[in-house]
Amino acid sequence: MTPLRIATRKSPLALWQAEYVSERLKQVGIATVLVPMVSSGDTDMRPIDGTRQVGLFTKRIQQALLENEADIAVHSLKDLPTEQNASLTLAAVPERETVLDSLVSTTSLKLDDLPPNACIGTGSQRRAAQLRNRRPDLNVMPIRGNVQTRLGKLENGDFDAIMLAEAGILRLEMHDLPRTQFPIEEMLPAPGQGALGIEIRSDDAACECVRALDHAPTRAAVTAERKLLASLHGGCLAPIAALAHATDDAIQLRATVLSQDGTQRLDEHHELATTSQSMLETADQLAQHTATALLERGAADLINAAR
Distance in angstroms (rounded) separating the CA atoms of residues 269 and 217: 18
CB atoms within 10 A of CB 84: 14
Distance in angstroms (rounded) separating the CA atoms of residues 141 and 237: 16
**Residue 199: which of 216, 214, 217 has the closest Cα?**
214
Give the list of residues 6+ apart from residue 166 with CB closer than 8 angstroms, or none.
98, 99, 100, 101, 102, 179, 181, 194
For 116, phi then psi, to 5°, come to: -55, 140
Q: Are 124 and 190 in contact (CB under 8 A)?
A: yes
> Taking the CA atoms of the chain, what radius of gyration do you get in angstroms?
19
What does each C-alpha distance from 291 to 60, 210, 295, 307 come to in angstroms?
30, 31, 6, 18
79 assigned to active site: yes
CB atoms within 10 A of CB 233: 15
Question: Angle at the Cα of 85 (from 72 to 299), degrees rounded to 5?
Answer: 120
Distance in angstroms (rounded) separating the CA atoms of residues 77 and 221: 12
Distance in angstroms (rounded) separating the CA atoms of residues 92 and 90: 6
Give the list of residues 6+ apart from residue 49 with CB closer than 8 angstroms, or none.
125, 142, 237, 306
Q: Which of 42, 49, 71, 79 is catalytic?
A: 79
CA 38 to chain CA mean position, Å = 19
Catalytic residue ranges:
79
